[in-house]
C-alpha cells in the first residue's frame, strides 16, 4: 500500500514538473511580444515625426528661397545706389543731378564700375540725342537775326559730340566683351580680366573731351542769341554737357572710385555658395539624431526577434 502511494506521489510530481515550466515560458513570450509591439509603435512614431518635421523645414526653406529670389533685385538696387553715390561724389558739377539722372537707368545686374561707367555714357548720349529735335523746333520758330546761323553751327557741334560719345561707349562695350576693364588697376586681382591699356583709356578720355568741346561751342553760340526759346535750349545743352562731364570725371578719378570698390566689393558668389551649403548641412545634422535612433531601434528589434 505504501509503495502504491509513493508511486502516485512521484507521478504527480512529475506531472507538476511537466506542466509548471510552461507558465514562465508563456509569460516570457508575452513579454517579448509586448516589447516588440512597443518597439514597432515607437519606430512608426519616430518615422511619422521625422516626416512631419522634414516637411515643415522644407516648406520654410522653400519659402525663404522664394523670398530671397524676390528680394535679390531690391538688394542689388540698394547696392547700385551706394556704388553710384561713390561715382557721383567725385564730380565737380551737381552731384545730385548726377545721381538722379543715372540711377533710373541702372539695372539690378549692373553692379560693377565698368557697368555704371557705361550707363553714364548712355545717359549722356540720350541727353545729347534729345537736343537735335529741340534745335530744329527752335530754328523753325525763331525769326531773330543770327538765330539760324547760330543754330546750324550748334547742330553741327552737337552731332560731333554725339559721334564722340558713341565711339567712347563702343570702346567700353568692346573691352567688356574681351574681358578688359576700364576701371581696373594695372595689376588686376580678378582672374580672367585685364585692364584697358593706357592708350585705350586715353582714347576714351580724348573722345569724351571732344564731346564736351562740341557742347561748349554750342552753349557759347546760343548765349549770343537773345531769345526765350534759345535760352531754354541752352539749359538743355548745359544739362547734356554736365552728363558728359560726369563720365569724363568718372574716368579721370577712376583710382579714387576703385578704392571704394576694393573695400566694398560686389556680392561674392562664393559666400552665397557657402551660405546655401551651410543651410543644407545644418538641416542634415538636424535629422541625424533621428536617423541614429531609427537604426538603433531597428537593430534592437532584430536582436529581440
Do 165 and 39 fall within a single domain?
no
pLDDT tens per residue, range 222-281: 887 767 777 788 889 999 999 999 999 989 988 888 887 765 555 444 444 444 455 555
E-only strand ranges, the chain:
180-181, 194-195
Whether residue 218 sits in one domain with residue 173: yes
Please calculate the CA angle 43-280-293 and round it to the nearest 5 degrees.
Answer: 20
Q: Which residue has the higher pLDDT, 129 or 262?
A: 129
Domain count, the chain: 2
Q: Which of the residue ranges 75-84, 118-127, 135-144, 166-175 would you say has the lowest mean pLDDT? A: 75-84
**Rounded average pLDDT over 6-20:** 51
Judge if 154 and 95 occupy the same domain: yes
Same domain membership, residue 122 and residue 233: yes
Q: How far from the centroid of its chain's Cα atoms is residue 95's Cα? A: 26
The two beta strands, 194-195 and 180-181, are parallel
Q: Is residue 14 part of a domain?
A: no
Same domain, 221 and 190: yes
Most confident among 75-84, 109-118, 144-153 (mean pLDDT):
109-118
Average pLDDT over every residue of 124-128:
94
Assigned domain for 224 exists: yes
Residue 184 lies in a domain: yes
- Give me the CATH number covering residue 263: 1.20.140.40
DSSP state of 267: P
For residue 70, being part of any structural domain is answered with yes
- Are 51 and 188 contained in the same domain? no
The verdict on 247 and 122 lying in the same domain is yes
- Does one domain contain both 137 and 184? yes
Contact in structure between 222 and 146 (CB atoms under 8 Å): no
- Domain containing 119 equals 89-267
45 and 154 part of one domain: no
Q: Note whether residue 23 is domain-resident.
A: no
Residue with cell 536582436: 303
Percentage helix, strand, coil, to 5, in the chain? Answer: 80, 0, 15
190 found inside a domain: yes
61: number of CA atoms within 13 Å, CB side? Answer: 15
The model carries a pTM of 0.60
35-41: long-range contacts (C-beta < 8 A, 24 or more apart)?
35/304, 36/301, 36/304, 36/305, 39/297, 39/300, 39/301, 39/304, 40/301
Amino acid at each position: 500500500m505504501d509503495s502504491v502511494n509513493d508511486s502516485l506521489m512521484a507521478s504527480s510530481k512529475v506531472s507538476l514538473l511537466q506542466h509548471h515550466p510552461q507558465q514562465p515560458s508563456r509569460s516570457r513570450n508575452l513579454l517579448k511580444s509586448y516589447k516588440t509591439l512597443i518597439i514597432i509603435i515607437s519606430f512608426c512614431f519616430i518615422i511619422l515625426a521625422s516626416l512631419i518635421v522634414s516637411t515643415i523645414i522644407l516648406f520654410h526653406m522653400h519659402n525663404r528661397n522664394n523670398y530671397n529670389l524676390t528680394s535679390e533685385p531690391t538688394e542689388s538696387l540698394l547696392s547700385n545706389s551706394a556704388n553710384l553715390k561713390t561715382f557721383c561724389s567725385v564730380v565737380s558739377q551737381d552731384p545730385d543731378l548726377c545721381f538722379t539722372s543715372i540711377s533710373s537707368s541702372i539695372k539690378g545686374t549692373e553692379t560693377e564700375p565698368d557697368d555704371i561707367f557705361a550707363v553714364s555714357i548712355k545717359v549722356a548720349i540720350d541727353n545729347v540725342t534729345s537736343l537735335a529735335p529741340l534745335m530744329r523746333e527752335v530754328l523753325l520758330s525763331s525769326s531773330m537775326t543770327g538765330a539760324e546761323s547760330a543754330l546750324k553751327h550748334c547742330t553741327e557741334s552737337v552731332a560731333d559730340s554725339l559721334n564722340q560719345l558713341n565711339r567712347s561707349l563702343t570702346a567700353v562695350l568692346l573691352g567688356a566683351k574681351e574681358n578688359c576693364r576700364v576701371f581696373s588697376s594695372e595689376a588686376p586681382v580678378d582672374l580672367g580680366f585685364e585692364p584697358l591699356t593706357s592708350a585705350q583709356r586715353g582714347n576714351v578720355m580724348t573722345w569724351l573731351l571732344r564731346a564736351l568741346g562740341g557742347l561748349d561751342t554750342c552753349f557759347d553760340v546760343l548765349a549770343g542769341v537773345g531769345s526765350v526759346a534759345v535760352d531754354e535750349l541752352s539749359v538743355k545743352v548745359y544739362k547734356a554737357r554736365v552728363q558728359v562731364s560726369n563720365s569724363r570725371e568718372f574716368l579721370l578719378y577712376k583710382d579714387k572710385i576703385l578704392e571704394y570698390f576694393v573695400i566694398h566689393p560686389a556680392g561674392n558668389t562664393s559666400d552665397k555658395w557657402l551660405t546655401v551649403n551651410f543651410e543644407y548641412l545644418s538641416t542634415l545634422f538636424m535629422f541625424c539624431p533621428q536617423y541614429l535612433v531609427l537604426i538603433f531601434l531597428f537593430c534592437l528589434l532584430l536582436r529581440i526577434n
